A and B are shown apart, each in its own frame.
Chain A
Amino acid sequence: MKLVRPIGGALLALMVVMSSGADPAPVPSAFPHEIHSTLFTSCTPCHDEAGSDNLTELVRVTPADCARCHDGETASLVAFRPPVQGPKIFKFSHELHVGREKFNCVTCHLAEGSEGRMPDMVRPTSESCRTCHGSDSHFAPDADCTQCHEPLSRNPDLTVERIAAFPHPPNHESAEFLSAHGTLAGIDLARCATCHARETCETCHINATQLAPIRSLASDSRVLAQAERITPRWPKPSDHDDPGWLQHHGPKAGRAIEGCANCHQQSSCATCHGTMSLAQVHISRLPNSGTTRATGIVGVAGTKPYHPAGFRLGHGPDAASGRANCTSCHQKQEFCGGCHEGTVSTGFHPLGYLNRHAADAYARDTDCASCHSNEVSCRSCHENAGLAGFDSKSASYHDAQPFWLLAHGQAARQGLDACISCHQQTDCLQCHSAKSGWRINPHGNAFDADRLSDQAPLMCSQCHFSDPVRGAGRERVTPDE
């Protein structure tokens, strides 16, 4: 007796029985064999007309056969209705079982509790098969479907409704089955083919046309109704939950993007990578949308799930230190320049930002000057808005501070970059110059005159006639002078 191969894990194919349901009761034969037990000595006179004695050419009895005796004279008329033969779904050989293995008919067909020389017969079920073909149950994980069943595609008589009503093996519903079925299909795809066709796989596999096992399955549109019962699922692999997964998935995807293709199509990547990414060389190997009925995991267009909230403002350290491999997604020169070179309109700042930028400028959330020159961009706009005066004496901005002249020192030291957005250097030099005006010393205690004199002597000369540190004769003098 050949035993089914032990295969761990889930059973892929449905074991199909002659009627729907997991394991139906045996169907009694329509013919009362026991009544005729004294008339027929064995099965062969009726079922092996050729007399081969091994039932290689099985004959099914018809009403005409009955009428040979039940003609109304020899015996009363009877209305015999032979069992309707459904589509052949079993792969069974009487020649093998009776002719070669010498099984008796009653081995499989004997009705339970019946006895005698011509007992009642039943149509065998999968249970009968498993008596020898050793699975614990019809849908046992180690059951070898192919031992009893033909592939679905070789059963052209099966209707769409019948296929749609195929019973579900319990293990198909388990979470483990989803992740393991690919491996199992690779081991014994024929088991899958008992109930499934290529269209079944295409329900979920967007890369169905690229996977050899699926390609090798026959196409059979009759399974579409069956497939409609399947809710496509693309469970998230455990490594996708790693907080750094989005940032570090690149190398893995580059090495084996075939694995990604089970769930992702090109548009999945385009959500973040765009279509001009350097990663496109890998992404282009993913299937395109519309290849199969499956949709796969698709990101929402317009969202950038890769970057956390606030990344646009805080990406500096990541980009500068090289931790984020920006160039794997962005064409560096073009992309960075999009903001850092100050594209005019639909760039960095959101709608209506102009009306609310003041607080951000004071807080220095971003270095405004890296894109917008204070001297050039801010001043011209503030003049148009009436914030900067057309000349220093007519400025209207500081009207809420009656003692502004007294307060402006603190304000200037705390937010000098904001002052520059309206004021020129010459505005301040009207008072803060050793050359003219009020000659008020603007330097704080932390002012390092020595160093700045060394670094930028021309800066000193804006306010001082001579080197304020070393004097005209390079002698050190009091900085205040």
Chain B
Amino acid sequence: MTIPRVMVSNQGWLAAFLVGALSSADPGTVSAQGIRGELRVDVSAIEFQTVVRDSIPESEVPGEGITRYLPDGTIVTCVPGGYCYSYRSGVMETAAPISQDLTLTAWPGWQGVQARTHLRGRFGSNDLWPRSDQELAVLDLSVDFDRDRFRLRAGRQDHHGGLGALHFDGGSILWKGPSTLRLTVFGGRSLGRGLDVPYNGSLLADADKLAPELGAMLIGFEGRMRPTTSLSASLLYQREIRSDRASRYSERMALDAGWHAGRSRVELSGDFDMASRVVNDLRLLLGRSITPQFDLLIEGRHSSPFFELWTIWGAFTPVGFDQARLSATWRASSELTLEGSAAYRAYRETETGAALAPIEGDAFRGYLGGAWRRDDWSLAARAGVDRGFGAYRGQFDLSVDRSVGLRSSLGLHALGTEQFSEFRFGEGTTHGVGFVGRHGTGRVDLTTQLGRFRHSFQNRPGYEDYNQWRGTLAIALRFGDDPGMKSSRPIGAPRS
């Protein structure tokens, strides 16, 4: 099944999309069967300061070498015999990305048959915000045939498991075995991770000169079992093969298991790159409620990034890190909860012999926080620090939220962040305050955020401090019901 990603050239498509969505929201036309849906519109407006590149002839810049300084301290990167380049603050611009999601699930009235679609339209901010050029994407378009012992699904769909969400055009068969055993086999044309479009689509082609020329076929299976209420496990395998079968794009496996009994829990999860024989992620978590008020959690983890084989990144032999984390939660009272976490990670030997320019080989991160709730009020505070390879960050968050009835909440949040990169001069601090509001009736949900931030730079001449507004507004309209979900039969009333 091939569902092309449709690029639209004007906003008329989007208007049609909205009109179509709303008109299809009338459940009365299929009330005998059932239809449920949601129309969600997210509108954002983000002010930001652009950067512009400046260049001056290398001969006019004092000093030697690739990296030099102008008299005002500005760092420039020089090309011998050419120009020296630097960046400075540009004008303020506003990006206004808008996304519209329409999700429909319909039951046509035939036992076990369900159809579903998820469409997304994006527009509003060409070139300023990722993937907000005008496009209409089909994220899901599938049909289920569900019986007691099996379920068949065909169309554009995704499989959520230990490897995250796998998107593909094709089919899947779920066998509902004895007890809690569930086996799923799936396959079809693969859609790229984080893209929801084929590998050989224009998105990757625009972003990378060595983007795949051909798409990939996906095959996989998953088994899940929950032999007792305290023990569960799953195993997922998936392979992506270039459509001409000349190469693999990926071959991965995930193992997830959990054991929860009383106040103790053990979780084990692992992602393995079978093609490269690399353990991408392996976690062992031990948790225990020492007392009814005090929880302790210890986690050991190894992490190494995963790269698809259509890229060359795996050939650079990336190394991973090993991390230990300790977290504790103390419910001091029914109203007050305190928590803290600390993690240390150390990177494995890179064998690069960079003695002249060593960089951090380990990192620490931790935070302390607390939350207080009484009646409709909740206060939360958290402060944390990340220090180590790549980036340093110190931050705090404060929030005051109040529920207004059962359907609404208002919040005032404040935050501060200081961060700098190991590889870059200058620090940046951001302080902000924001309003968060929610109102939901079940059928209509409204969420809004509005924040004002102050960005300051230190040791970066050419970068000017600036204020920024960021705001988002999301409206979700839900309509229809699952078949049989309209029941409001009170306890004791006879079944109809």
Contact = CB atoms under 8 A, between A and B. Distances in A.
B165 A309 contact: no
B333 interface: no
B491 A207 contact: yes
A386 B160 CA distance: 35
A155 B225 CA distance: 64
Nearest to A413: B350
Interface in A214-271: 241-244, 247-248, 257-258, 261, 267, 270-271
B424 A407 contact: no
B363 A406 contact: no
Nearest to B490: A210
Count chain A CB atoms within 10 A of each CB in B77, B103, B254, B408 and give the residue with the most.
Answer: B77
Given A390-B53, A463-B312, 4 more contacts: A321-B162, A352-B430, A399-B67, A401-B357
Interface string A78-101: 000000000000000000000000
Interface stretch (B1-9, B12-20, B445-453): B445-453
Interface in A86-144: none
B392 A359 contact: yes
A404 B354 CA distance: 10
B303 interface: yes
Given A320-B256, A346-B474, A410-B354, A446 B317 contact: yes
Interface of A: 207, 209-210, 212, 241-244, 247-248, 257-258, 261, 267, 270-271, 274-276, 278, 280-281, 284-287, 289, 298, 300-303, 308-310, 314, 316-323, 331-334, 336-337, 340-346, 350-352, 355-356, 358-364, 367, 369-381, 384-386, 389-390, 393-404, 406-407, 409-418, 420, 424-426, 428-429, 432, 442-448, 451-452, 455-460, 462-463
B9 to A, nearest CB: 20
Interface string B421-438: 111110000101010101
A429 B53 CA distance: 25
Give the interface size bracket for B toward A.
35 or more
16 contacts: A247-B260, A257-B491, A281-B484, A314-B285, A317-B258, A321-B234, A340-B165, A345-B44, A351-B470, A352-B430, A352-B470, A363-B343, A402-B357, A446-B317, A455-B247, A463-B315
Given A317-B256, A346-B474, A393 B357 contact: no
A442 B316 contact: yes
Contact of B289 (A212, A243, A341, A394): A243
B204 A346 contact: no
Given A334-B103, A462-B312, A399 B75 contact: yes
Contact of A345 (B43, B161, B351): B43
Contacts of B313: 416, 420, 425
B482 A278 contact: yes
B254 to A, nearest CB: 7
Count chain B CB atoms within 10 A of each CB in A257, A340, A369, A410 and give the residue with the most.
Answer: A410
Count chain B CB atoms within 10 A of each CB in A209, A287, A340 and give the residue with the most.
Answer: A340
Contact of B233 (A271, A321, A342): A321
A459 B99 CA distance: 36
Contact of A316 (B118, B269, B474): B269
B50 A384 contact: yes
A361 B130 CA distance: 17
A254 B373 CA distance: 29
A465 to B, nearest CB: 15
A360 to B, nearest CB: 8
A316 B195 CA distance: 20
A436 to B, nearest CB: 14
B204 A376 contact: yes
B231 to A, nearest CB: 8
B350 A409 contact: yes
Given A323-B226, A409-B352, A456 B269 contact: no
Interface SS of B by simple majority = strand
Interface in B351-386: 351-352, 354, 356-359, 361, 363, 365, 373, 375-376, 378, 386
B243 to A, nearest CB: 12
Nearest to B371: A309
Interface string B185-198: 00000001111100
A310 B305 CA distance: 22
A300 B408 CA distance: 10
The 10 closest A-B pairs by CB, nearest first: A444-B317, A386-B51, A275-B442, A407-B357, A409-B352, A370-B164, A456-B309, A362-B390, A323-B232, A302-B409
A352 B415 contact: yes
Contacts of B221: none
Interface string B324-346: 00010100000001010001010
B247 A459 contact: yes
A415 B390 contact: yes
A308 B337 CA distance: 11
Contacts of A207: 491
B101 interface: yes
B85 interface: yes
B77 A443 contact: no
Given A334-B118, A351-B434, A356-B430, A364 B305 contact: yes
A402 B67 contact: yes
Contacts of B378: 300, 303
Count chain B CB atoms within 10 A of each CB in A212, A274, A337 and give the residue with the most.
Answer: A337
Contacts of A400: 421-425
B75 to A, nearest CB: 4
B254 A407 contact: no
Contacts of B358: 407, 410
Contacts of A385: 48, 51
Contact of A403 (B195, B289, B356, B393): B356
A192 B260 CA distance: 45
A455 B357 contact: no
B403 interface: yes
B185 to A, nearest CB: 17
